[in-house]
Amino acid sequence: PLAGPIEMASAEDWREAEGSPEGSNPPELEFDDSESSVSSSATSSSPFRTSACGLTGAAAAAAGGCCACSRRRAAAWCGGSCCFLVAVGLAGWFAFVHYLTGLAIKRMLIIEEDTTRRFCRSDLDMSNITRNLWWPGCKFGAADDQCSQPCYSAKLIAEMDAFNKAHPGKLVSYYSRDHEGVENIPLEGWWLPAASEKSGGTPAPRIVVQHGFQGNSNYFRPLLVAYMLRKLGFSVLVNNFRDHGYSDNSSNHIYEWGDAYPYDLLGAWDYARMDPDGALGAELPSSKVGVLGFSKGAFTCVNAFGLEEDLPAAWVDSPPFTPKVVFAHGAVKEMTEMGIAFMSPLLVDPVWDRVESAAAERGVDLNANLPAEVLPRGPDTKRPIYVVGNKGDDTVPIGEMESLLALLAEYPEKYSVSSWVAEGMCLEEDHCVDHLSKFDEYSKKLCEFWKQCFGLSAGSC
């Protein structure tokens, strides 16, 4: 509303202002309804020119043109509304980023010991652990064909149980490898000698097995592959990362990805080849001790393989190429379930930046020792590496395997690469389960790869 009342100008007002002779009248107004405006023969310089509202004279001048004023108000209202909507949108964006950052930090960094220490009870050893693990389909306890089929047979689990009872193994202790800026931590894992190894005889080649994200040495994945390797004539050390399984806690006490974990694995590898306390039977040359890992454990094997030029060979099952891609894949799935997948391009990067910052505040660089950084530094010795992935893996997408293979292909003088892309799920599981669902095929490939790596005949495979 205007500040005061509007008065229509009289003809006398017009004549006085325009200097028109007495008796003349103001020009007629012609309304153009299609444009919501008014046309007039009055000159534009007249102080009594026709306003867009149809007012003339002093009233129009006083009003400043009520329609022009209305248009300014409309523009101001629209501008204010747009600013309000932008502010609401930004507030919503920041709220989602804050919420998703909390979820991401909890899942990518915060260690929950109910998970990382699971199955590490003092009453469990190789004589009874097989029947007390979580198995796909059968969950906890003894597997039978009603819950295991069509993925695997209960007979396989029974044979593994009998083997472990006959060849029990023991827990051994050692330290992570010393490295500047990385806390040195006491570690503990299972020493599981080959079935063929006899006291005083020639030691069998050794393979350090590394568990995956949120796992430990007592989950079915590392223990099943340890059983496979031992049957094939290899001794196994199943390592636990710091803050996992039987190993000690670190001061940081978060998931460290590429930062400290390669040095945990290399500490286990040092112990397996050097046998400093005589618990393994004898020292072995570096060329007789390899590494194998699943998921994040495979990622760690790749990192360690690039860092340690004396590592002779590596077998990696479903390794992430970077932590961020695994996070982004999981985040998009989470947002899809929430009905906001369309917002993922706006949320993933800022959330991950905050996760990295949260880790950095604890002194952890999640992106330390990534494959793209360390593999190009390897020696020109064509060391063998075997990469396994599953086409339908919905935890570590097959694209991560493809990224690693593409990088390795750039350095044919450094790496001799083999790969296998499997297909199919094991009941409801699609991540790192091919050694269970395709036990015989997986075992044959393990046999051929490792016997060739260690200079043994693969004819028995």
The predicted structure's pLDDT at residue 25: 52
Taking only the tens of pLDDT, the chain with its 461 residues reads 334 444 444 445 444 544 545 555 545 444 344 433 333 333 334 433 444 444 444 444 444 444 444 555 555 555 566 776 677 667 766 777 888 899 889 989 999 999 999 999 999 999 999 999 999 998 776 678 889 999 999 999 999 999 999 999 999 999 999 999 999 999 999 999 998 887 667 899 999 999 999 999 999 999 999 999 999 999 999 999 999 999 999 999 999 999 999 999 999 999 999 999 999 999 999 999 999 999 999 999 999 999 999 999 999 999 999 999 989 988 888 888 888 888 788 888 999 999 999 999 999 999 999 999 999 999 999 999 999 999 999 999 999 999 999 999 999 999 999 999 999 999 989 999 999 999 999 999 999 999 999 999 999 99
- As to burial, measured by CB atoms within 10 angstroms (0-12 exposed, 13-18 middle, 19+ buried), residue 52 is middle
Decide: helix, strand or coil at residue 38.
Answer: strand
Q: Are 320 and 390 in contact (CB under 8 A)?
A: no
Q: Which two tokens stand for residue 26?
A: 């103001």
The predicted structure's pLDDT at residue 19: 53
Q: Which of 427, 426, 448, 450 is nearest to 438 (CA)?
A: 426
The predicted structure's pLDDT at residue 144: 83
Instruction: Tally Cβ neighbours within 10 Å of residue 42.
Output: 18
Please report which helix (H) or strand (E) contains residue 387, including its range.
strand 383-390
- As to burial, measured by CB atoms within 10 angstroms (0-12 exposed, 13-18 middle, 19+ buried), residue 35 is exposed
Beta-strand pair 383-390/314-317: parallel
Instruction: Tally Cβ neighbours within 10 Å of residue 287.
Output: 15
Residue 287 CB-half CA count within 13 A: 8
Q: Which of 415, 423, 326 is nearest to 374 (CA)?
A: 415
The predicted structure's pLDDT at residue 304: 98
The predicted structure's pLDDT at residue 451: 97
The predicted structure's pLDDT at residue 103: 86
Q: Which of 240, 258, 267 is nearest to 306 (CA)?
A: 258
**Quick one: DSSP state of residue 410?**
T
The predicted structure's pLDDT at residue 199: 66
The predicted structure's pLDDT at residue 12: 53
The predicted structure's pLDDT at residue 448: 98
**R_g of the chain, CA atoms, integer Å:** 37
First to last CA, the chain: 93
